[in-house]
Amino acid sequence: MARYIFITGGVVSSLGKGLASAALGALLQARGFSVRLRKLDPYLNVDPGTMSPFEHGEVFVTDDGAETDLDLGHYERFTGVPARNTDSVSSGRIYSDVLEKERRGDYLGKTIQVVPHVTNKIKEFIDIGDDEVDFMLCEIGGTVGDIEGLPFFEAIRQFSHDKPRGQCIFMHLTLLPYLAASGELKTKPTQHSVKELQSIGIAPDILVCRSEHPIPEKEREKIALFCNVRKEAVVAAYDLKSIYEAPLAYHREGLDQAVLDAFQISPAPKPDLTIWQDVADRIYNTDGEVNIAIVGKYVQLEDAYKSIKEALTHGGMANRVKVNVEWVDAEVFDTKDPAPYLEGYHAILVPGGFGERGTEGKIKAAEFARERKIPYLGICLGMQMAVIEAARNVAGISSAGSEEFDHEAGKKRFEPVVYHLKEWVQGNATVTRKQTDAKGGTMRLGAYDATLAKGSKVAEIYGSTSIEERHRHRYEVDVKYMDKLQACGLRFSGMSPDGSLPEIVEWADHPWFIGVQFHPELKSKPFAPHPLFADFVRAATETSRLV
């Protein structure tokens, strides 16, 4: 039976809950415990997959095809435990399930209320997999006091009451603002935040206090006294140069020990932090640096490409180099020559996206990388743009394009080298989709197998001819153009097991030019960098030494 840790955010600031949760999970693992992390999002009323990246940042996809909040990416990167669709729930999903049950008559005509029907549904979700792990960490999105979160706070209060005494604890993250004028840290926001939490029946066992400055002993004692927690349970969370220093930093401050003390686990196994010490060493002791351009359409919000940026950092760790990421707006190249903007970079990455906006710029970026022999990694739409560029400029299909752009414009303008995927195989079943289907959850989602060509660059990078990667897309490169493109030198080096769907392309005469239909960044971790990103950064490092 799992022990539960509920992580909540303070009135002033909830920033860093996801990181604190992930770091705590890593520390408990380092002590030999098994963990699973979950996100309860009171604010998300729709499917994350239907939201603009400008609204919600990156959509993180799990192996089983769930479209989730980007915090689950943190959980995976720090613990290595693959997330699944039961690890993320939104208020929209909870209310939808309750309404569906009511329509089926499951409530036998009773009046449906937030308590107990909505709260019971939340508790059912929290309890999934209770017997699988030692610790279940549940992060509640947002801040205490917000009206959206009240059903979730009531649910976790009830949940802790229902469980045996000592099986649930509450961890609350707050901010200690620093007033430069008086040169002091203010504890009053933390006191009021805890008071707000206590008013709804939840008393925190551990306080994690965000601070830019060291917390004096006097302030710790004051917080402990007025917030009714032990002084040892007031844990400082200082700003760090790298998020991957968080497990070591939280261990120094005693977070994992505070959790074990709250559960009265004594004696506890000593932590083995060798992995995280090695990660920190690779971050801060580098042998050089490389500059990589990400040519995308959501560059105004870096969280839209969160996993890509982290995967590049992991690739840097694998090569002991610092990766400097620069965000380049693809729309600039719609009207301008990319050369002045891209000449200073050692590699170019074109990520995924939806819609026609910025795609001509991405095509030009792929052309620039191909002609200049600069390492190029195209992900999802980035692969499709590389194929369209090859079709137009090498294979002589001047009107090559994607059905996606024609559907958006409402008229036919392109020869569809990339088409709307209507049927594919998933496991032992055939999945079908129509263009008129509702957008939410209708893509090719989750983990799929791929077969790599023997002797190809990707087979060498992976060290295997059989891989499994996560997908999220509606459009595919049309296999009927494969022979013509391969005759021009663009090798289709990865295919679906049945040979019907192209998964990877690479230029045979290029030092490093690879496009993948899947999202390798979703499986990269600091202690296990994804092979594609590790080798991409290696190629960029070689380019930097040639300049």
The residue among 207, 155, 181, 159 whose CA lies nearest residue 13 is: 207
Distance (Å, rounded) from C-alpha 356 to C-alpha 364?
A: 14
Of 380, 404, 503, 506, catalytic:
380
Provide the pLDDT for residue 432.
Answer: 65
pLDDT tens digits along 295-353 = 998 777 777 889 999 999 999 999 999 999 999 999 998 888 999 999 999 999 999 88
Distance (Å, rounded) from C-alpha 480 to C-alpha 160?
A: 58
Distance (Å, rounded) from C-alpha 402 to C-alpha 380?
A: 13
Percent of the chain with pLDDT over 90: 75
pTM of the model: 0.93
Q: Residue 125, Cβ neighbours under 10 Å: how many? A: 19
Distances (CA, A) of 117 to 34, 92, 149, 200, 509: 31, 14, 15, 18, 62
- Residue 532, pLDDT > 70, answer yes
Supply 53's token pair.
């990246």
Of 154, 367, 521, 530, catalytic:
521
Of 251, 473, 510, 519, catalytic:
519
- Residue 431, pLDDT > 70, answer no
pLDDT tens digits along 364-390 = 999 999 999 999 999 999 999 999 999
Cβ atoms 505, 386 nearer than 8 A: yes
- Residue 435, pLDDT > 80, answer no
Instruction: Respond yes or no: is residue 521 known to be catalytic.
Output: yes
Provide the pLDDT for residue 547.
Answer: 60
Mean pLDDT confidence for 481-489 = 96
Mean pLDDT confidence for 537-545 = 94
pLDDT tens digits along 11-27 = 655 568 999 999 999 99
Instruction: Respond yes or no: is residue 488 known to be catalytic.
Output: no
Pairing of strands 466-473, 444-452: antiparallel
- Residue 210, pLDDT > 80, answer yes
- Looking up tokens 């729709």 gives 46
- 3-class SS string, 448-504: EEEEECCCCHHHHHHCCCEEEEEEEECEEECHHHHHHHHHCCEEEEEECCCCCCEEE
Q: What angle do CA 520, 521, 522 make, to 5 degrees?
A: 90
Q: What is the mean pLDDT of the chain?
A: 91
